[in-house]
């Protein structure tokens, strides 16, 4: 059991700390109504509704299955804004994820077209892993498009103006059939961009 004078000292310290926290603080300095001319104005981009790029009916017509869940998300980072939509299908391995990448806001914003040219069009020596083969070029889709497929999934990458789109899928029947279906989805998405 603590000594009574120790309890009294602790109570006194706690009470003084509480009163100190309640003391009146000086008002913050007024912020000028007009920003300084050295601060660059950043125009916010309109919201990105990635899930509006495909309808459930379009997905069903192409894949044979309608989505059971549609989940939007959005992230900012690395100088980019990425809007994403996940379409879960009854056969989960056939699910679709669409990502639309565009320039982020602020001083660290990066140009998606420059990123595309550096990473997709002309990757530096050793940037593409040995196990991944060169992506297949897709004609007449956006400004530039490539398909990269593996045995368990694939993705269509499309550059359209100053955004790039990625449509990732699972097995989707595999091979050329999967590639054709994803390109068909890609054509619908690009029309709405």
Evaluate whether residue 7 is within a structural domain: no
Would you say residue 150 lies in a domain? Answer: yes
Helices (H), 43-85: 56-63
More confident residue, 141 or 14: 141
The CATH number of residue 138's host domain is: 3.40.1000
The model's pLDDT over 79-122, given as tens digits with 9 standing for 90+, comes to: 999 999 999 999 998 899 999 999 988 888 999 889 888 877 77
Higher-confidence position of 28 and 158: 158
Q: For 8-24, what is each residue's pLDDT tens digit?
A: 333 333 333 333 333 34
Q: What is the pLDDT of residue 171?
A: 79
Quick: pLDDT tens for 32-86: 444 433 334 445 567 789 999 999 999 999 999 999 999 999 998 889 999 999 9
Both tokens of 187, joined, read: 């054509």
- Determine if the pTM surpasses 0.85: no
User: What's the pLDDT score for residue 117?
Assistant: 84
104 exposure class (CB count in 10 Å sphere: 0-12, 13-18, 19+): buried
Segments forming the whole domain that contains residue 64: 50-125+133-191
Residue 87 covered by a domain: yes
């Amino acid at each position: 059991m603590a000594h009574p004078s120790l309890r009294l000292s602790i109570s006194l310290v706690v009470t003084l700390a509480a009163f100190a926290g309640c003391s009146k603080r000086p008002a913050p300095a007024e912020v000028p109504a007009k920003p300084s001319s050295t601060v660059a104005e950043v125009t916010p981009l309109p919201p990105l509704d990635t899930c509006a790029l495909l309808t459930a009916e379009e997905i069903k017509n192409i894949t044979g299955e309608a989505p059971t869940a549609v989940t939007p998300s959005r992230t900012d980072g690395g100088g980019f804004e990425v809007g994403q939509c996940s379409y879960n299908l009854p056969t989960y391995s056939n699910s679709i994820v669409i990502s639309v990448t565009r320039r982020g806001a602020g001083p660290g914003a990066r140009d998606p077209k420059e990123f595309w040219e550096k990473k997709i069009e002309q990757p530096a020596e050793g940037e593409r892993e040995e196990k991944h083969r060169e992506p297949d070029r897709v004609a007449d889709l956006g400004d530039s498009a490539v398909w990269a497929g593996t045995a368990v999934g694939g993705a269509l990458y499309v550059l359209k103006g100053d955004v790039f789109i990625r449509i990732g899928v699972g097995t989707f029947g595999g091979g050329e059939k999967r590639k054709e279906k994803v390109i068909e989805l890609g054509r619908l998405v690009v029309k709405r961009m």
